[in-house]
Amino acid sequence: MKLVAGLGNPGKEYEGTPHNVGFQAVDILLEQLGLSGFQQKFQSQLLRTSLKGEACIFLKPQTYMNRSGHAVAECANFFKIPVEDIVVISDDLDLPPGKARFRDGGGHGGHNGLRSIIDSLANRQFRRVRIGIGRPSGKRDVVGHVLGRWSKAEEKLALSAIDLVLNELISFLETSKFENTSFTAS
Kindly report the length of the chain: 186
3-state DSSP assignment of residue 184 = strand
- CA atoms of 168 and 179, how far apart (whole Å): 9
Question: What is the rounded distance in angstroms from the CA atom of residue 27 to the CA atom of residue 31?
Answer: 6
Residue 39's contacts (CB-CB under 8 Å, 6 or more residues apart) are 45, 46, 47
107 secondary structure, DSSP code: -
Is 70 a residue of the active site? no
Amino acid 84 reads: E
Q: Within the chain, what is the greatest distance between any pair of CA atoms?
A: 50
Contact 102, 128 (CB under 8 A): yes
Active-site residue, selected from the candidate residues 19, 70, 111, 145: 19
Give catalytic residue positions: 19
